[in-house]
Structure 1
């Protein structure tokens, strides 16, 4: 049997590609930037399988024109770039890579919390750009004052895998009080970690640090808007390692400009990549990183391995281990036969 064609939208680890080559005829987009939609559409028309990233738009138009396509294996937890309903109707399997990102994203969340609270990036610039030298003093009682975390209140929005790990680190590592909001109450974790449930408005009013860990859905789009930002404490910090569109960027800029909150740490943005002169880049009290939540070797390789597991399982006629659209099995069995 001729190998099915797999189009890979970005360069990934060589050992993973070699593993997949046993099952698929592979073509890889070799540029650093993602393939333009027009290129992706043409490649999808010829492909039996796609290995995609969160930046690839897999919409109804593409799915309807890709007559041979049977599986979209996404190298990400999120899948808001894929039209799941259309894929299911057409019998196209969609998989993602949950679970393997938890530690990396939780650790980056804490890196951002500490960077903003202790003004790490601002202090680095203070030294690097000669401002410290110009003060003519090596130490001053009021120099670069930040905030301690012990005893402070961390408010977590979304207590899934990542949110619960962030909560655990807060309680066990920093001695913080943790409150959370989620559509599903987690009484097991409340008992295990000593954390407390709050409705969203109350959480925003009580928390010294608010950390967002929800997926992007119609319900969470601009979940943190001007109304919600006005409810936060004046000295509070907002952290977002989830999805950029969960936060209304214009409202956040206004909040920072007018001093409603003390600062922010952002790994994700409504517009990616963020333009170099974007208003957010002007704030010293905002730490910006380029969507690197999962950017450790260990995690990215584990993500690629899980993508390969999904693709190999499908090739062998098995339901992929992390199938997103589970109803698709009613439309078409897994495999290329």
Structure 2
């Protein structure tokens, strides 16, 4: 791909989304590099005024913004999701878009299984008991206030059969968990190896979500779905926050529709106290993490390497991880 300048300008709008302990390689060709820890919407146009290549993780590049940046040739998204970029505008105006795939197939499954073990064995509840002095007051060498279940032999229902769903299935099977994949919601004729969506909800001891967020999957899990699950089931969401109706999830936990939930992603991030999950953090059957399931050091290093490979490939005229 030939660029107008021999040393194209590259701007990373939100460099702080990659931790400082991670080595960020630089593209192999001569270039001018500018990076910012964060970029507010008001500063995007000014910071990209001369950029031919932009790197963004979560900074929004919508039609209104892109119309003011005619020199832009490549948007390199430093994540898998690219819903912060107006893909249709990019298609219409010849702006290439790349994303990063396959970097978290170790990290996300381990996070899912870690949450599953923690919630099934009620580690949060027991930690809180000790913090409150309940065990100390009871004066017994052990203190059973919450049920403790085994993970081996249970059934894990997986919604989403991409790379992360399959990697989670492989890890789960390796520790004795039975795995079933759910067909898309509302589909009556299942593909080979899949079970109907509602049946997976009913059969599974735990459900884990690994599907993209779209108009079709928004609130994929709401009150009706939660009521179909086992009363001792666990819901784990490391996919996208909007896949789950968060208010309905809190109601389900309080009403006993399901036993527990582990959540790594939220409708709005960072989440604030208006989110019902955050205002109920004292619940022993609710485990929250701040969108870090993907973020082991090794996974983030892989992401950084792939990100720069994508930029090199574009400049060399090769299509790699292209969205458009």
Using the size of structure 2 for normalisation, the TM-score is: 0.89
Q: Match of 1:290?
A: 290
Q: Match of 1:44?
A: 48
Alignment partners' CA distance in 1, 2:10 and 2:22: 16
Q: Match of 2:260?
A: 263
Alignment partners' CA distance in 1, 2:317 and 2:82: 23
Q: Deviations over 1:140-163 (max 9, x none)?
A: 4x3432221122111100111111
Alpha-carbon distance, 1:114 to partner:
1.1
Q: Match of 1:146?
A: 148
Alignment partners' CA distance in 2, 1:18 and 1:100: 16
Q: Match of 1:10?
A: 15
Kindly tell me: are residues 254 and 298 of structure 1, through their superposed partners in 2, closer, same or farther at Cα, counting changes over 3 Å?
same
Kindly tell me: are residues 222 and 41 of structure 1, through their superposed partners in 2, closer, same or farther at Cα, counting changes over 3 Å?
farther
Q: Match of 2:174?
A: 172
Q: Match of 2:86?
A: 83
Matched, 1:210 2:201: no
Q: Match of 2:32?
A: 25
Alpha-carbon distance, 1:88 to partner:
1.2
Alignment partners' CA distance in 2, 1:285 and 1:214: 24
Map 1:53-92 → 2, pairs under 5 A: 53=57, 55-92=58-95
Alpha-carbon distance, 1:22 to partner:
4.4
Q: Residues 22 and 300 of structure 2 are in contact (CA less than 8 Å); yes or no, is this contact kept in structure 1? A: no
1:248 aligned to 245, 248, 264, which one? 245
Q: Residues 24 and 304 of structure 2 are in contact (CA less than 8 Å); yes or no, is this contact kept in structure 1? A: no
Q: Deviations over 1:271-300 (max 9, x none)?
A: 211225743232220100000012111110
Alignment partners' CA distance in 2, 1:15 and 1:176: 34
Which is worse superposed, 42-51 or 204-213?
A: 42-51
Q: Residues 25 and 304 of structure 2 are in contact (CA less than 8 Å); yes or no, is this contact kept in structure 1? A: no
Alignment partners' CA distance in 1, 2:129 and 2:149: 18
Alpha-carbon distance, 1:121 to partner:
2.3
Q: Match of 1:329?
A: none
Which is worse superposed, 18-27 or 102-111?
A: 18-27
Q: Residues 7 and 26 of structure 1 are in contact (CA less than 8 Å); yes or no, is this contact kept in structure 2? A: yes
Alignment partners' CA distance in 2, 1:17 and 1:154: 36
Q: Match of 2:323?
A: 324
Q: Match of 2:305?
A: 305
Q: Match of 1:236?
A: 233
Q: Match of 1:334?
A: none
Task: Return the structure number with greater helix share.
Answer: 1
Q: Residues 80 and 100 of structure 2 are in contact (CA less than 8 Å); yes or no, is this contact kept in structure 1? A: yes
- What is the aligned-residue RMSD (CA, Å)? 2.1
Structure 1: state its 5+ residue gaps. 191-196, 326-337
1:155 partner SS: strand
The total of aligned residue pairs comes to 310
Which is worse superposed, 160-169 or 300-309?
A: 160-169
Alpha-carbon distance, 1:132 to partner:
2.3
Q: Match of 2:157?
A: 155
Alignment partners' CA distance in 2, 1:267 and 1:116: 14
Alignment partners' CA distance in 1, 2:130 and 2:258: 26
Alpha-carbon distance, 1:15 to partner:
8.1
Alignment partners' CA distance in 2, 1:67 and 1:14: 35
Q: Residues 22 and 301 of structure 2 are in contact (CA less than 8 Å); yes or no, is this contact kept in structure 1? A: no
Alignment partners' CA distance in 2, 1:243 and 1:122: 26
Alignment partners' CA distance in 2, 1:79 and 1:123: 39
Alignment partners' CA distance in 1, 2:316 and 2:211: 33
Alignment partners' CA distance in 1, 2:125 and 2:31: 49
Alignment partners' CA distance in 2, 1:220 and 1:285: 25
Map 1:77-116 → 2, pairs under 5 A: 77-116=80-119
